[in-house]
Structure 1
Amino acid sequence: MISSSRLIVRPRTIAATGAAVALALTLAACGSSSDSAAMPGMDHGSKSSASSSASASPSMADMPGMDHMASGNGLSDSQDGYRLTSKDTTLPSGEQAVYRFTVTGPDGEPVTAFALDQTKRMHFYAIRSDLTGFQHVHPTMAADGTWSADLSSLTSGSWRMFASFTPNTGKGKGRGTGQGTDFVLSGTVTVPGDAAKTPLPASATSTQADGYTVTVKGEPMAGMAHPLTVSIAKDGQPVADLEPYLDTYAHLTAFHEGDAAFAHLHPTTKVTGDNGGPDLSFHAELPTSGNWRLFLQFQTGGRLHTAALTLRVG
C-alpha cells in the first residue's frame, strides 16, 4: 500500500529518454474504472485514432497537459540518474504474466514516492516489436519500491516494456534531481516460441473498433506541430457519449515502426461534463518520419474501447 502522504499532484515537465524531441500531443487520459487498460491480444486487426471533447480547440496556453512536453523516445532504461531495472528477461507465452521492475533514483536507491499523473502513479505499456499486442496497465507498488504489472496473454517474440512516471518532489530516500520531471524508461523481454512477424497495416484515415468508426484528419510532418482532428461515430451517427476516462475523454499512445519509439499524445480540450465527442482536436508533434502505430482508448457505457491505426508522418 502506498502512503497517500507521499503523493504530490503537480504539473509535469516531460523528459523521457533519448535525444529527439518526442512529442507535444497530449491525450489527457490514462486508466479506466479499473486499474487495467490492457488489450489482450490487441493486434493489427484493429485500428486507431484519438479523442477529446466537442468544444472548440483552445489556445496552446490553455491546453490541458501542454506543459507535459516529451523529450526523447523512451528507448533507454535510464535518464538523468533514474533507471528502470528488472530481473524479468523472459515471460511465458500464451498466459497471463507479471512483469516486476524497480525505478532507482540518482542515489541508487529505489524510488517510492511518485506524483499522480492522470490519477495514476505509474503508467505501463507493453508492445511487441512488430507493434502488435498493445497493453496499457497501471501496476501496483510494494513498500520496497518493486512494481508489479499484470499482463494479459503475450505472444512469442521480443517485447518492450515502458514505464511512464514522475518522481515526487521533496527530500529523502529515493528522491533526486528529477523531481517533478516526467520520465519514460523501458526495457525488453523475450517471450519464447515461434515469433512470426505480423506486417504493419497500411496508413489509413479511419478504422473500426467495437462497432465504432474513428476518423483522423491531418497530415503531420516530422518535428513540426500540426493539428489533428478525430471524429468518432457509431452506426453512421456521430457519438456524444464519450465518458471521462481518468480525467479525460480519451488516451492516445503512438509507437514508431522499426524501433518502437514511444510517444504519448495529449488532448487540447478539457473534460467539460459526463459526455464528450464526437469531434476531438489535437496538436501533434511526432519527432521522426515514417509510420506510427496509434492506439486510442476511449470509454462508453462503462466499457473501454481500443482502436489502432497506422499514421504516416512525412
Structure 2
Amino acid sequence: MPDRVPPADGVSPAADGVPTGGPDRAPAVVDGVAHVPERVSAVPDRSTLRLALVVGGLVLAVLLGFGLGRLDGGGPSAAAGAESALSGHSHAPGTGAHEHGADQGAAAQAGGLSVSSAGYTLAPLAATFTAGRPGELRFQVRDAQRRPVTRFAVVHDKPMHLIVVRRDLTGYQHLHPTMAADGTWSVPLTLPQAGVWRAYADFTALADDGRQTAVTLGVDLTAPGVYRPRQLPTPASSAMVDGFAVGYQGTPQAGLTVPLTFRFDSPAGRPALERHLGAYGHLVALREGDLGYLHVHPEPQPVDGAVTFWVTTPDPGRYRLFLDFQVAGVVRTAEFTLDVP
C-alpha cells in the first residue's frame, strides 16, 4: 500500500469530512473560518459510567431472574398449576407456620374439583366398571380445541400421576398410566367395591412454545351395586401399616403453610427410607365432602429419619391424608384423618 501523503495545507480530513487539526491541535481553516477540535478523553466521564453500571445491572437482573425461573419451572403457568404440588419448596430450618403471598395463596386452592381447568379437559373413554373385577381405565387429556395432548413434562419420574379413591375416601390407589402415540392413556384398574369413585389426573402439559402448565383434573367413575359408605376413622396423628408405626407432628391451620414431620418405626428399629418417584415420600390430602385434592412433596432429605412436608390447607374441614413411602423396595401407604380448624 503506498504511503499516505498529507494534504498540502497540513490539515487531515476527518471521517465525516470535517477537517481536524494535527497533534498540536493547530486550528484548521475552512472557508476562512478557524476550527479548533476539542480534546477527546479516553476515559468516560462519571455520568457515562453510572449509566453503564445501571444498564449492566438491569441486564444482569433480567438474566438471573430468567435463570432462576427456569430452575424453578417458573413463570405464570407454573404458579397457576401449583395446585398439583402445593408447598413444593424448601424452608430454612426453624421456619414456623407462615403465610405466602397472594399468588401462592391463590394457587393453594384444592384441585381436582373439575373435569376441565386451565384449558385442558379430562376425557375418559369409559367410566363404568364392575366392582371387584379387573378392568382398564383409558382416557385422554384434550386442549381447548378438543385435540388430544401428547406432550407432558416428567414430574417425580412420571409424566402422569393418577389417584383413585372412593367418595367415602376408602380404597386409595396411586397409579401411573402409559400413553399411546395418539394421546390415549391406559392403566389396569380394579374398583374393589361398588360405589362412586373419583379419579384425579395430576400432570404438567407442555405447550408448543415450551410453556408448562401443571393441572389436576378429576372425574367420577362408577361401579354399580350396593353402596355402603364407611365413616372416616377418628382423627389421629399415628397409624400402623404392615408392622410400621408412622406418626407425625404438626398442626395444620387453614390458610397457613405448616410443617408436618413424619417419623417411622418398626420392631426392627428405625427403617431405612428409600426414594420413591424421586422423593422420600408422597403425601396426598383429600378434603371430605367435595374431595378437593392437595398433593404435597417433602423436603429433599430426611433429618434423623424423619420427613417434613410443608402443607397448606386452604380451608377448614376434615381431610384424609395418604402418605406413600418405600422401605426395602416395597411401597406402603399410611392413612390419617385430620381436622383443620
When the two structures are superposed, what TM-score results if normalisation uses the length of structure 1? 0.75
The answer for unaligned runs of 5 or more in structure 2 is: 1-69, 97-103
Q: CA RMSD in A?
A: 2.9
When the two structures are superposed, what TM-score results if normalisation uses the length of structure 2? 0.70
Residue 225 of structure 2: aligned partner: 193
User: Which of 126, 132, 157 is the equivalent residue of 1:119?
Assistant: 157
Q: How many residues are paired up?
A: 261
Which structure has the higher relative contact order (CA within 8 Å, separation 6+)?
1
Cα deviation, 1:198-224, whole Å, max 9, x if unaligned, reads 110010010001111111111111111
What SS does structure 1 have at the residue aligned with 2:205?
coil
Q: Does 1:207 align with 2:239?
A: yes
**Alignment map for 1:103-114 (pairs within 5 Å):** 103-114=141-152
- CA gap of 1:22–1:289, structure 2 versus 1, over 3 A, is farther
- CA gap of 1:114–1:223, structure 2 versus 1, over 3 A, is same
Residue 154 of structure 1: aligned partner: 192
Q: Does 1:270 align with 2:300?
A: yes
**Alignment map for 1:43-58 (pairs within 5 Å):** 57=93
What SS does structure 2 have at the residue aligned with 1:228?
strand
- Measure the CA separation in 1 of the matches of 2:252 and 2:268: 27
CA drift of 1:24 comes to 3.0
Residue 37 of structure 1: aligned partner: none
CA drift of 1:279 comes to 1.2
Residue 280 of structure 2: aligned partner: 249
What SS does structure 1 have at the residue aligned with 2:273?
coil
User: Which of 297, 308, 322 is the equivalent residue of 1:295?
Assistant: 322
CA drift of 1:282 comes to 2.0
Residue 35 of structure 1: aligned partner: none
Residue 31 of structure 2: aligned partner: none
Contact 1:79 1:185 in 2 (8 A): yes
User: Which of 143, 149, 154 is the equivalent residue of 2:181?
Assistant: 143
Select the structure of larger CA radius of gyration. 2
CA drift of 1:106 comes to 2.1
What SS does structure 1 have at the residue aligned with 2:206?
coil
AA of the residue aligned to 1:270: P
Percentage of matched positions with identical amino acids: 37
Residue 4 of structure 2: aligned partner: none
Residue 4 of structure 1: aligned partner: none
- CA gap of 1:290–1:23, structure 2 versus 1, over 3 A, is farther
Residue 249 of structure 2: aligned partner: 217
Cα deviation, 1:63-112, whole Å, max 9, x if unaligned, reads xxxx9x55442110111211111231311110222111110112321100
